[in-house]
Homo-oligomer: A and B are copies of this chain.
């Protein structure tokens, strides 16, 4: 994995890919699928996400205050759905679906080796957790896999329907 400047994190999350979220609690790692996330600030690199209280990851994220957001490309679509269809309460999803835990540099939850990008995050604000299950995260370290060229991300449309990235277009824009 190659380090990515934190100022470029938004280029990964802003287009709205489904991501994996890893947590760790009592020495045990877990992973879930997540689409409810958005950028909040460029620098420091802040992200908001909503994790349902029904998800086993919720308690781990709230108590440990750390996670990794891992971005899968199209080839991981089937595993992504498997991850989303079961709970870490019942099984070790990394083992069950052949996902590789790599050590993160600054947080306890693992990176996902098969993902083309991994963002190490700390919860910096729990002020909206009780009301909306909304966490404010700061990305403290970011990694990309240089071996995955032009990865196509996956976007959730509900009930097992996903749209995969298509053509890229370039337009003269002053927007960062």
Q: Enumerate chain A interface residues (CB-CB to B < 8 A).
A: 8, 10-11, 14-17, 33, 35-41, 46, 48-50, 74, 77-78, 81, 84-85, 125, 127-128, 131-132, 134, 136, 152-176
Q: Are A11 and B158 in contact (CB under 8 A)?
A: yes
Supply 26 A–B pairs (Cβ within 8 Å), ascending by A: A8-B158, A10-B158, A11-B157, A14-B156, A15-B157, A36-B38, A36-B40, A38-B50, A40-B132, A48-B50, A74-B169, A77-B169, A81-B172, A85-B173, A132-B136, A157-B168, A158-B176, A159-B173, A159-B176, A160-B173, A163-B165, A163-B167, A163-B168, A165-B166, A166-B166, A166-B167
Copies in the complex: 2
The binding surface of chain A is classed by DSSP as strand
Q: Are B155 and A14 in contact (CB under 8 A)?
A: yes
Given the interface pairs A37-B38, A40-B50, the reply to whether A15 lies near B156 with Cβ below 8 Å is: yes
Q: Are B39 and A175 in contact (CB under 8 A)?
A: no
Given A36-B38, A125-B131, A161-B168: 10 more A-B contacts, CB < 8 Å: A14-B16, A33-B175, A35-B39, A38-B38, A78-B171, A159-B176, A160-B171, A162-B168, A164-B169, A165-B166
| CA of A23 to CA of B50, assembled, Å | 26
Which B residues are CB-close (under 8 A) to A127? 127-128
| CA of A132 to CA of B125, assembled, Å | 11
| CA of A33 to CA of B44, assembled, Å | 22
- Measured CB to CB, the closest approach of chain B to A160, in angstroms, equals 3
- Measured CB to CB, the closest approach of chain B to A53, in angstroms, equals 12
